[in-house]
Amino acid sequence: MELELNETQALIRDSARKFAREVVAPRARQTDREERFPADVYKQMGELGFLGVNVPAELGGAEAGVVAYTLVVNEISQACAATAVGMAVTNMCAELICAYGTEAQKKKFVPRLTSGEAIAGAFALSEPHTGSDASALKTTAVRQGNQWVLNGAKQWISSGAYAGVMVVWARTANTGSKGLSCFIVEQGTPGLIVGKPEDKMGLRGSNTVPLTFENCAIPAENLLAKEGEGFKLAMIALDGGRIGISAQAVGVARAAIEASCSYVKDRKAFGKPIGEFQALRFMLADMQVQVEAATLLSLRAAYLKETKQPFTREASMAKLYASEMANRVCDKAVQLHGGYGYIDEFPVERYLRDARVQTIYEGTSEIQRLVIAREILKSAAA
Ligand SMILES: Cc1cc2nc3c(=O)[nH]c(=O)nc-3n(C[C@H](O)[C@H](O)[C@H](O)COP(=O)(O)OP(=O)(O)OC[C@H]3O[C@@H](n4cnc5c(N)ncnc54)[C@H](O)[C@@H]3O)c2cc1C
């Protein structure tokens, strides 16, 4: 694995950094405080190729690969994790339709996602009674003539009120995980009801809503992949999604370190800048080492996916380590700021709130440990 970025990767990283610093970061605090979903920013991200970083150019993507994708997520998350989460989910949906869609589905839906015309994509798997155990989901899809009719409820769907294109999982047979199928649903379809946004601890600029399907009829051709393949698709998409969360965690932790470095140089106690106290220097050193370790795990998982090698275990390891790391690092950043760390005049309290969900969504830390253990035992038996 090369540790140097190639020209494409460096270019898109620099473009994301510029955009993150000039457009996303200046409004991040307001996005958080006013819980304002940054729809206009998604349009701009579409123009820059950030909504389909690993999607072919003929479908409106940047065709820059998975490593490039993690670099873009790092940069946008460093500025505003709430903006990054919708961007990451849009990439996930576009990639999934590219990989499993018919030619007609790809042509119809992917350019709408990558361009920002759909504003964002949504990934609707979790339900009120089940998140970790996706095979227990209860939403049904019944074939009626040339339509599928969906009934049921989804919970915590990121960008759900804004997403023009959604990928939705539903049960088409009572055969456990083998009875799940995946569908493409457009915003505004009669019978799709968007609920009240959740009042969240962090990622407050991200839109998280429940969705209800009440006799929601979609065209038969909106079935993604084959009937009964939904669980497989969800697991494949989540493997890739976990790389995105690891990159998001790295971005937030980098922001926390940057804020901390600037604060400890400025703040004085006992007649000198607090950055001169060894106790705080040790904290900063440990924070930096952990971010670098998480970065390497994240990039390795991305590289394996990009080069079409197995990456399930590596994606889970990157997600587990990076998300727990971001929580530790952001917590230390608050500590380094003393009382100012606890108020919203400084950004580190937002970083800590934003980092908290990273050990929960796209598979909790406990689920990542189950996946990692399963994978290492599988290879040990071979
Ligand atoms: C802000 C936010 C955005 C989200 N966005 C989306 C989205 O866009 N799309 C979507 O589909 N979902 C989304 N989710 C849902 C998220 O993926 C789930 O919350 C997550 O998968 C956990 O599921 P759960 O909440 O049902 O917890 P549960 O599955 O009920 O788990 C509760 C606890 O039990 C533990 N647990 C469960 N099973 C096991 C086990 N076998 N062994 C050990 N421990 C276990 C868990 O680790 C956890 O600690 C989002 C959630 C949040 C908070």
- Of all protein residues, whose CA lies closest to atom 12 belonging to ligand 1? 126
Q: What is the pLDDT of residue 2?
A: 76
Residues 127, 93 within the same domain? no
Q: What is the pLDDT of residue 3?
A: 84
Q: Tokens representing 197?
A: 């946004």
Instruction: Choose which residue among 89, 96, 123, 126 to substitute to test ligand 1 binding: the one with the highest number of ligand atoms within 8 A of its C-beta.
Output: 126
In-domain check, residue 320: yes
Residues 189, 296 within the same domain? no
**Residue that terminates a domain, selected from 229, 259, 285:** 229
Annotation says 362 is catalytic: yes
HEC-encoded secondary structure of 38-52: CHHHHHHHHHCCCCC
Q: What is the pLDDT of residue 381?
A: 75
**Residue that terminates a domain, selected from 229, 253, 272:** 229
List 158's β-bridge partners, or say none: 208
As a whole number of angstroms, the distance between CA 52 and CA 34 comes to 28
203 ligand 1 Cβ < 6 A = yes
Residues 304, 377 within the same domain? yes
E strand intervals along 176-273: 180-186, 192-194, 208-219, 223-224, 268-269, 272-273
Task: Give, as one character, the DSSP assignment of residue 164.
Answer: S
Q: What is the pLDDT of residue 382?
A: 66
CA atoms within 13 A on the CB side of 280: 22
* Residues of the chain falling short of pLDDT 50: none
139 ligand 1 Cβ < 6 A = no
In-domain check, residue 271: yes
* Cα of 134 from ligand 1 centre, angstroms: 9
In-domain check, residue 193: yes
- Of all protein residues, whose CA lies closest to atom 22 belonging to ligand 1? 131
163 ligand 1 Cβ < 6 A = no
- Note down the domain range covering 205: 123-229
Residues 101, 166 within the same domain? no
Nearest CA-CA partner of 198 in 187, 190, 206, 186: 206
Q: Domain count of the chain?
A: 3
Per the residue annotation, which of 75, 127, 198, 362 is the catalytic one? 362
Exposure pattern of 19-55 as b/e (b: 16+ CB <10 Å)?
bbeebbbebbeebbeebebbeebbeebbebbbbbbbb
As a whole number of angstroms, the distance between CA 133 and CA 370 comes to 12
In-domain check, residue 2: no
Residues 235, 225 within the same domain? no
CA atoms within 13 A on the CB side of 194: 20
List the CATH number of the domain containing 72: 1.10.540.10
In-domain check, residue 1: no
Instruction: Choose which residue among 127, 135, 156, 203 to substitute to test ligand 1 binding: the one with the highest number of ligand atoms within 8 A of its C-beta.
Output: 156
